[in-house]
Structure formats: structure tokens, C-alpha cells
Amino acid sequence: MKLLKAIIRPNKVDEVKDALAKLNISGMTVTEVRGHGKQKGHTAVYRGKEYNVSLLPKMQIEVVVANTAADDAIRAIVEAARTGEIGDGRVFVLPVEGSYRIRTGEREV
Amino acid sequence: MGNDEARRRVGREILEGRTGVAALDRYTEYVDAELRRLHGGAGAPPGGVALIALGGYGRRHLCPYSDIDVLVLFDGEPDEPYLRRVLHPLWDAGFVVGHQIREAGDLVQLEADNPEFLLALCDARLVAGDAALFARMRESFAVPSTYACVLESLQALIDARYAQFGGTLYQLEPDVKDAPGGLRDIAAARTIAAITDPALLQRGEEAVRLAEAEELLLTMRALLHLERRRNDNVLAHELQERLAERLNYPGKGPRQRVEALMADYFSRARAVARILDRLRRTAPAAVGLNLGRTRDGVRFIDRDRAIAEPETWLAAFQAALDGDAAVSDQALDLIRQHAPRFRGADFLPSAGHRAALLRFLEPRPGLYARLSEMHDCGLLGRLIPPFRAIASRVVRDFYHKYTVDEHTLQTVRNLERLSQRPRFASLLGEVDAPELLVLALLLHDVGKSGDGDHAQRSAAMAEEVLDMLQLVEPAREAVLFLIQHHLRMSQVAFRRDTEDPEVVREFAALVGTEQRLRLLCLMTLADVEAVSPDTLTKWKEELLWRLYVDTYNHLTTQYGDELIERSQSAAREYVAKRPPDLDAAEVAAFLEGLPRRYLQVVDRRTVYHHVRLARDIRPDEVHLRIEPVEGAWELTVVTLDKPMLFANICGVLSSFGMDILRGHAMTNPNGLVLDIFQFVDAERFLALNRGAADAVMHAIEEVVAGRSTAADRLRGREAGLRRRPVSRITPIVRVDGEASRKYTVVDIIAPDELGLLYRISRAISELGCQIDLVLIGTEGDKAIDVFHLTKSGAKLSADDQQALTAHLQQLLEAQA
């Protein structure tokens, strides 16, 4: 199993969710996060005064998929979240050793 | 019967067993009859007159040798012959008359420096003459400010009087009138209760105690007067013995009888002093008409009156809000019980009441708590009927944690707490009519009482309330806009790509003006935060703020790129709906090429008026209009563009001492200039001088025609115009060559000063720049002006930008 951790633009969440749903991937965690990558924020101006926008609002989507489904899922996320502009985000892929269903205690494979 | 006989009768009746109170009432009756007789024989003065008993005489407790305190109130000039014919016979009959003579008109002025007179007026009673005049006097007296003044003076008088007696009632030779626990204390207690809360003296036991004490003290005082044959109220040793015997106090010898009398006296006086002390501590302070404030909050003083006058209820909540207090359970219970009998309009019978409701809705700490009380006692649902539809309404969704009514009230609370979010708090400070925001918030979810698109339903339901409030454009439209679109900004901020300029452009087109943008932004913030305690995250706040800033920038820096075109539907509509005196071509030609923003900041009627002003305009001519607008004046200028024009007009206004608050200056591609200035006339030149508006307009005509310049008008005055800045705002000049396609945009933020706009625009013109568009704004002591400039028909070069920035910086810093 793989944990896919995608940091994306806030307005792309619905599209990513829909793309994953098409692959029958529905369980996910969505978190509001702030950060910056290469984008490093930018300078906004309000009333003639500049202020630095260093941490940008992003959404983080976490989803666990089977090893075999990982590539498709990554591709779906990347395609759905892409605008082509700087600040589109990242997908991280992490190995998952195991998972347990809390309600039943059973181990999932 | 003569006066002496009437006096003797008092003593006789008391000794025969009639109560002192009853005997004095008969004596009062006798004096009243004398006065009526004299009044009847005096011939009515031309304007009408009222003979009014004051103080103890007004209370019908006139003792045999007391002064007869009367007020002769004339409805016009005092009439000498009348006074002679009434007062002289009284003096001849041996009365000591304490007379006051007033004209009805004078009583409008509160005689705060004459506390004894004010206090005596509390017991005013008409003896003879014009009843309507008397009623008018009572009415003008019975106002909270007078009551507050009476209460304050009374407290001071009591303190001073107590000090004369060493602060104790245990006097060996007490003064039954003035000593602590004496007759003055009883009158004071009654007055305090009457003007604050009559219920304070309605406790059975205390009322009985007070009446018993009054009976004894008045009996004593009457007998003292008769013994001494003058107005002497001291119960001296030898008189104690005499009175003890006459009043049949038990005891073997005189000493025992005196002891019994004095024991009785002290026990009564003690009771009086205690009651007065309690009243002084617990009496509500008058905080409004029929409203008092005690520790448990604001209450109605006269319950029956409150029940009959539902239009006064809102004032209880306003008083609580003003005094940082609650509304008492007494008032809330009364409203809860009686509110269902009334409808919305019963609470708002006049324009004053409607304005009071809007004033009440201004966001400030405590408003949520007061609105919650109002909702809880049923008043809110009566005042704003659609609100009843969402009382305890449960709508299940993933996000909301509260019933719809509580969610709604919490939005108002969130506005109160805005100081925790300074950047949004500053927006609230820039909103012209924040009460409209609260009104919109109260109504934004009422449509959740039914199915379907709740925002549309809410807006439809709101119409009824806006009708009742007789709210007119543009306030009405603003409230409906906010309700209809209350979900829009969060949808765009949280779900759409706001880095896409098209998204911002569309949103900016929806809100149209900075004012609406601020309102919608604050509404969104308050609404999101009221969904649940953790819905408004820092993350969402940031997204919302960014959308605000992007939209604000779009509205102020890019609107010059979006011009009205003939073919545009809005323009066609203005042509189609034009009034009969305008022709289609003239409307179309006027609108074409003005910024689209124009149609959003100006209402339809005004647009047509501008078309008329622009008719047949020739070079060097100017068409003008000056008219009062809410709290300020508005100058509209239509002319053809020429160098220094804007600076000249600003300069003329400054030369008359006018402080320009806000405005728009617009130009169309054919060189037609339309400037709208709102300014404050602090010296009231326009209000006080006939022809003043013509003088201002003439001065503008002269400078536009080139016959004089603003500099001429201001020469020698300019130094005087510069008031010492009290503000610590650092001036900001920012020149942006990117934001707009056509213009170089200059943002200027500086301490507001008379003549500022003139100096800035003159400096810009002197550098050879053309001023095409200007947004003029003032927020608090800050001037916020945005200029759209070109030079020789194009944006400024980098060198020009630099020169301009340096020049303006220098100018503003020199000023600061």
C-alpha cells in the first residue's frame, strides 16, 4: 500500500476528488494547510502598501491506495490539479506497512 | 371665613380627633378657594394663565403658617394687572406668598441652577386657570433629562441638609420639617420613587410606615405653627411638653408624656430615614423616557404606560446597549406578555422610530446580547416578522452547529468581536452605514424557513421588512444585494481559482463598488464564523482577505479599462427607459466611453440629471449643481477637459474652506469631464448665506473660463489652510504602471487636510500629466485617493513615474 499525500490549490479539491472517485478511490482526508514550495509567496499591494504573502493557503489530500493502483491515482491527481502555473503543488508517495480497521480490529491487506 | 379662622380650624379639628393630614387638606382647600376667587376676579390676561400650587402646597399639605408657593405661568408676556389683582389681596390677608412667575416659553430651558424650584415643580398642581397650559408644562417637565437633573440635585440637597444636623436624626429639639427623618425626607422619598420607579414605594409595609410618619409629623408641624403663630418647625423643649399633652400621650407627669412623644417621634423619623436611605441606594437612574436602570438592568418605570406604548420598548434595549447593561427581567417579562398583541408597524409608528431601529442595529459590543434578549422575549420576531419563521429552526447539514436563529444572531456577535481581526475591523470602520450590514445579517437566512434557494427566498421575505422601515434606495438595494449574494464571496474565495484574473474580474463586476465589496466581505466573514466554532480557520480568513484585496485593486485600478459601449445591454436600457425630455442619441452619446463603474456608483435618476447637465456644453463652459446630501454637500461639475482643470476645481472648493470627503472624477474619450465631489462645509457658509452656492459656482466658472485661477484665489490663504496634522499616518505614494492597460495608477494615502487634493492634483498637472480618473476617499483622518493618469495620451514612462513619485513624496512629507 502507498500513502499519497498531495498538496494542491484549494480550488482544485473538487476536481481531484472527482478524478479519484472515477478510479473507485473514495476514502480520503482533506486538510487545510499553509506553506510554500518553490512558489515562495508573492507580494500583494493593498492601498498602496505592499505586504508579503509568504505562506499560501493550500489543501492537503491524503489517500491510501493499493500498490497497483498508485500510479493511476497519482496520474489522476496530477492531471486534475494542474493549471500549468507555478504553485500547482506536489504529490508525495510513502510506503504504508499496514492498516487496521478500528471498528473491527481486523488487519487489511 | 378669614385666613385666621381657617388656621384656627386646623387646630380645632386636630384636637377633636380629625387626622392632621385631613385637617391640612381642608386648609389647602380653603387657600385654593381663595386663589380661585382672586383669579376669577382678576380678569383673564390675553395669552392665558395658570395658577399652580408647588411643593407642600401642591401636595395639599399646607400648614397654617407655611409659605404659599405658587407658580404663575403665563402663555405669553406676564400680565402686570393680573399679578397685582391676585397677589396683593393675598399679602393683605396675611399670607406669605412664595411666588414664581414664568412664561411658558421659558420652561423649555431647564433651570438646572435652581434645584429647589425644579423639586417644587415635581409636586405641581393646577389651582386655577388654563388646564391645557398646565398640561403642556407637565409634559415638558416629564422628560428623562429633567428627571436626571432633579434626582441629582435632590441627592445633593439631602446631603447638605443632613450635614446641617450632624448627619443624625436624634436631635433633642428636632426640626420636624428639615431634620433627618423629617417631612422633607418623606417628600424626597416620594419624589425619588415617582420619577424613577413607583414600585419602590409600593411595598405594603413601607408605604404604611411612611404614611404613619407623615401623619404624626404633619400633625406636629401644624400644631407648632399654631402655637408659635409663624412658620417655625423646631420641636423645642417647652413645645414638646405642650404637644405631648394636647396629643394625649400617656404618662403620669409631663416628663413621662414628653418621653412617650419623643419615643414616638424618633421611631417614626427612624423609619423615614431608613426608607429614604434604601431608596437613595436602590432607585434606578433615569436612562430614558419611562426607563430606569437598576442593578438588574434597564426597567420600565411605569408599567401601565409601557404596556400601552409598545413603540417605547426598543428604547429599553437601546438604553441597555448605551449603558452597557442588560434589559431587566421586569421589562422582558412585560414585553413577553404583551408583544403578541402588536404588529411590526405598532413598534415603528414614525420616521423617528424607524430611524431609531436602524441606529440600534449599528454593530457594537453588547448588540448580540441585546438582540438575544429581544428574540427571547418575542420582540425581535414582532419587529422583524420573518425572523419568527426561523425561531428554533433546525436545518441539518454537514456544517451548521446551531439553529438558524442562533446562527443568525451569532453573525452579529462576530461583527462585535471584529477587533480580534484588525484588518477586517478596519473595513468595518470604512463602511458608511454598518447598520445595514446588521439588518442584512438578521435577514440573510430567514428563507431557510422553507425549501429551495434560501438566499432568494430570504431576499423576497426581506422586502416586507424594508417596506415597513420605509428604506429607500440605495440603502434598500444594498441590503437586498447582500442577502441575495451572501454565499457568493465564500464560494469564490474557497472554491475558485482567485489567481485567475477572470475570476476576480467577474466577482468585481458583481459587487461593483468598494462599499459593497466591504459589506459583502464582512458579511461573509461573520456568516462563516457563525457556522460553528471552528469553521472560520486562519486559512479561510486568508483566502477571504486575498479575494477582498484582489477585488478592491481591480475596482480601483482597473475600472478605467472597462468602458460603457453603446451596444452594451446596460447602456441600451438607460436609453430605453429615459425620461421624455431626453432623446435617445443624447443619452447614448453621454454614456459612451465613461467607465462602466459609473453606472454602479450613481443611481438612474442622477444619470439622467447628468445627461441634462452635459447638454450643449461648449469649451470653457461649465455646468454645475450644488445640493445638500446626507451630512454634506455635493457638487457636480460637467465641462470639457483642459489642463489643471481638476486642481482648479479642488482649489476653488478649498478657497471656500470646503473639506472634500469623497468623489469621482471621470473623463470620456471625447474629453467630457464629469466630476462629483462630496464635501463638508465646516464653516456652514452654504447653509447660512443666501446665494452662497451661486458664489461658489461663479468662482468655478471663472477658473474654468480661464478668467482667474485657483492659485489666485488661494494666494495668501494657502498657508492658513494647512492645519497642523494631528495624524501620525505616514504618507504613501505608490505609482503602478501595470495594473491598468490604459493608465498609470497612483495610490495616495495621506493625513487628511484641507486643500490636500488641490496640492496633489496641481503637482501632478505641473509635471505635465493628465488626470483622467480620480477616486476620492476619506476614512477617518486618512485621505485615500487613486489617480489614473496619462501623459501625452499614454502611460507614464519609467522616468516620469520616478519623477512623479519623488515629487509627490516630497510634497506630502513637507506637509506632514
B344 within 8 A of B384, measured Cβ to Cβ: yes
B99 within 8 A of B11, measured Cβ to Cβ: no
B457-460: long-range contacts, CB 8 A cutoff, minimum separation 24: B458/B386, B458/B483, B458/B484, B459/B483, B459/B484
Does the CB of A33 have a partner CB in chain B at under 8 Å?
yes
- The pLDDT of residue B273 is 95
- The pLDDT of residue B580 is 93
Question: ipTM > 0.90?
Answer: no
Instruction: Find the residue in A nearest to B542 (Cα).
Output: A57
Mutate to test the interface with B, among A47, A49, A59, A82 (most CBs of B within 10 A): A47
Residues 6+ apart with CB under 8 A from B789: B743, B744, B745, B746, B764, B769, B770, B771, B772, B796, B804
Does the CB of B729 have a partner CB in chain A at under 8 Å?
no
- Binning pLDDT at 50, 70 and 90, where does residue A39 land? low
Answer whether residue B722 shows pLDDT above 60: no
Does the CB of A71 have a partner CB in chain B at under 8 Å?
no
Tell me the pLDDT tens digit for each residue of B659-702.
999 899 999 888 899 999 999 988 888 888 888 999 999 999 99
Which cell numbers hold the place of B15? 384636637
Among A10, A85, A87, select the one facing B543 at the smallest CB separation.
Answer: A10
Which helix (H) or strand (E) segment is B467 a member of?
helix B454-468
Answer whether residue A21 shows pLDDT above 80: yes
- Report the range of poorest mean pLDDT among A43-47, B264-268, B356-360: A43-47
- The pLDDT of residue B142 is 79
Answer whether residue B296 shows pLDDT above 80: yes
By the 10 Å C-beta count (0-12 exposed, 13-18 middle, 19+ buried), B36 is classed as middle
Instruction: Find the residue in B nearest to A82 (Cα).
Output: B497
Q: How many angstroms separate the Cα of B16 from the Cα of each of B5, B28, B31, B235?
A: 16, 19, 22, 22
pTM to 2 decimal places: 0.73
- Give the three-class secondary structure for B672: strand
- Among B116-120, B322-326, B462-466, B517-521, top mean pLDDT goes to B517-521
User: With the C-alpha atoms ordered B186, B188, B191, B195, is the resulting torsion angle positive or negative?
Assistant: negative
Residue B150 to residue A33: CA distance in whole angstroms: 63
- The pLDDT of residue B175 is 95
What does DSSP assign to residue B595?
B
Q: Which residues in chain B have their CB less than 8 angstroms from residue A44's CB? A: 546, 549-550
In percent, the amount of chain A with pLDDT more than 90 equals 55
B148 within 8 A of B61, measured Cβ to Cβ: no
What's the one-letter identity of residue B570?
A: A
Among B499, B552, B732, select the one facing A49 at the smallest CB separation.
Answer: B732
Average confidence score pLDDT of chain B: 90
Q: Which residue has the higher pLDDT, B706 or B284?
A: B706
Among A11, A12, A46, select the one facing B552 at the smallest CB separation.
Answer: A46
A4 within 8 A of A62, measured Cβ to Cβ: yes
Q: Which residues in chain A have their CB less than 8 angstroms from residue B495's CB? A: 10-11, 14
Q: How many angstroms separate the Cα of B384 from the Cα of each of A19, B90, B378, B389?
A: 47, 61, 10, 10
- Binning pLDDT at 50, 70 and 90, where does residue B259 land? very high
In percent, the amount of chain B with pLDDT more than 90 equals 59
- The pLDDT of residue B717 is 64
Answer whether residue B214 shows pLDDT above 90: yes
- The pLDDT of residue B498 is 82
Q: Which residues in chain A have their CB less than 8 angstroms from residue B534's CB? A: none
Tell me the pLDDT tens digit for each residue of B73-124.
999 888 999 999 999 998 888 889 998 999 988 876 777 778 888 889 899 9
Cβ-based neighbour number of residue B576 at 10 Å: 9
- Under an 8 A CB cutoff, do A10 and B495 touch? yes
Instruction: Find the residue in A nearest to B495 (Cα).
Output: A11
Q: Determine the distance in angstroms separating the CA of B660 from the nearest CA of chain A, rounded to an integer.
A: 19
- The pLDDT of residue B720 is 55
Does the CB of A83 have a partner CB in chain B at under 8 Å?
yes
β-bridge pairing B97-103 and B68-74: parallel
B contact residues 760-789, partner A, Cβ 8 Å cutoff: 784
Tell me the pLDDT tens digit for each residue of B589-641.
999 999 988 988 888 899 999 999 999 898 889 999 999 988 899 999 999 98
- Give the three-class secondary structure for B43: coil
Residue B667 to residue B674: CA distance in whole angstroms: 6
- The pLDDT of residue B723 is 53
Q: To 10 degrees, the CA torsion angle through B15, B21, B22, B28?
A: 110
Q: Which residues in chain B have their CB less than 8 angstroms from residue A32's CB? A: 537, 539-540
Q: Which residue has the higher pLDDT, B396 or B762?
A: B762
User: With the C-alpha atoms ordered B767, B773, B779, B784, is the resulting torsion angle positive or negative?
Assistant: negative
Which residue reads 468662482 in cell numbers? Answer: B699
- Report the range of poorest mean pLDDT among B212-216, B294-298, B337-341, B368-372: B294-298
B contact residues 604-643, partner A, Cβ 8 Å cutoff: none
Residue B247 to residue B263: CA distance in whole angstroms: 14
B contact residues 534-553, partner A, Cβ 8 Å cutoff: 537-540, 542-543, 546, 549-550, 552-553
Answer whether residue B714 shows pLDDT above 90: no
Residue B763 to residue B787: CA distance in whole angstroms: 12
Q: Which residues in chain B have their CB less than 8 angstroms from residue A49's CB? A: 732, 734, 749
- The pLDDT of residue A19 is 94
Cβ-based neighbour number of residue B102 at 10 Å: 17
Residue B353 CA, chain-centre distance (Å), reads: 11
If you average pLDDT over residues A51-65, what whole number do you get? 85
Answer whether residue B469 shows pLDDT above 60: yes
- The pLDDT of residue B688 is 87
Answer whether residue B724 shows pLDDT above 60: no
- Under an 8 A CB cutoff, do A32 and B553 touch? no
| Alpha-helical runs (H) found in B229-377 | 237-246, 254-282, 303-308, 313-322, 329-338, 344-347, 351-360, 367-376
Mutate to test the interface with A, among B427, B490, B549 (most CBs of A within 10 A): B549
In percent, the amount of chain B with pLDDT more than 70 equals 98
Does the CB of A79 have a partner CB in chain B at under 8 Å?
no
Which cell numbers hold the place of B321? 446597549
- The pLDDT of residue B547 is 94
Mutate to test the interface with A, among B490, B492, B496, B499 (most CBs of A within 10 A): B499
Q: Determine the distance in angstroms separating the CA of A61 from the nearest CA of chain B, rounded to an integer.
A: 15
| Alpha-helical runs (H) found in B530-673 | 538-557, 569-576, 584-591, 597-601, 604-614, 645-655
- Under an 8 A CB cutoff, do A48 and B748 touch? yes
- Under an 8 A CB cutoff, do A11 and B497 touch? yes
Phi, psi of B22 (to 5 degrees): -65, -40
